[in-house]
């Protein structure tokens, strides 16, 4: 009986992994397990773009069940180059920041504990700015080398 269950379990592993596989900053947009009805997207064309030209980037806005709003800025190739969050609870930053989550936690571990409501990490490969306190968190992160020519970090809402 043991041998008959093993192939079945092995065949189910990819299905289980799909439910928890998220991409993030530098990858495809995350889905945070929200329903499609709670997910909206809008396109922002570059200032120099003419009518009918493809958008220089797309902003995917997700309102999580906690009330926190997450925005993912996606280039035409489908890769997230910037993210932001604002709301009463922190989103899953491991999901949102992906491979850059370790950069943030490493920087936070090196700081003194007093006044730990703000964090700013500026590296050539990633910039992460996070601040807040109970029921009011906000932050943004971006990959400097991946920003479209017409995009400024000031565009991150």
Residue 87 within a domain: yes
Residue 79 within a domain: yes
Residue 54 within a domain: yes
What would the mean pLDDT of 84-102 be, rounded to a whole number?
93
For residue 130, give the nearest of 141, 144, 143, 145 by alpha carbon: 141
**In this structure, what token pair is assigned to residue 149?**
């020519």
Residue 92 within a domain: yes
Mean pLDDT of all residues in the chain?
Answer: 75
Question: E strand or H helix at 106, and its extent?
Answer: helix 101-109
Give me the pLDDT at residue 154, please: 92
Q: Quote the domain boundaries for residue 52.
A: 23-155
Residue 70 within a domain: yes
How many folded domains does the chain comprise? Answer: 1
With cut-offs at 50, 70 and 90, classify the pLDDT of residue 55. Answer: confident
Strand partners, 127: 122, 142
Residue 14 within a domain: no
**pLDDT higher than 50, residue 11:** no
Residue 40 within a domain: yes
Residue 3 within a domain: no
**pLDDT higher than 90, residue 53:** no
């Amino acid at each position: 009986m043991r041998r008959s269950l093993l192939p079945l379990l092995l065949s189910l592993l990819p299905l289980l992994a799909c439910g928890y596989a998220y991409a993030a900053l530098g990858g495809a947009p995350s889905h945070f397990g929200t329903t499609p009805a709670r997910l909206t997207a809008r396109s922002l064309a570059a200032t120099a773009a003419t009518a009918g030209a493809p958008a220089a980037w797309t902003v995917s806005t997700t309102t999580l069940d906690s009330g926190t709003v997450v925005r993912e800025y996606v280039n035409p190739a489908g890769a997230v180059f910037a993210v932001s969050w604002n709301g009463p609870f922190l989103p899953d930053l491991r999901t949102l920041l992906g491979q850059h989550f370790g950069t943030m936690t490493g920087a936070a571990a090196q700081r003194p504990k007093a006044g730990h409501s703000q964090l700013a990490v500026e590296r050539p490969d990633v910039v992460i700015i996070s601040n807040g306190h109970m029921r009011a968190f906000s932050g943004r992160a971006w990959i400097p080398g991946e920003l479209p020519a017409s995009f400024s970090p000031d565009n991150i809402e």
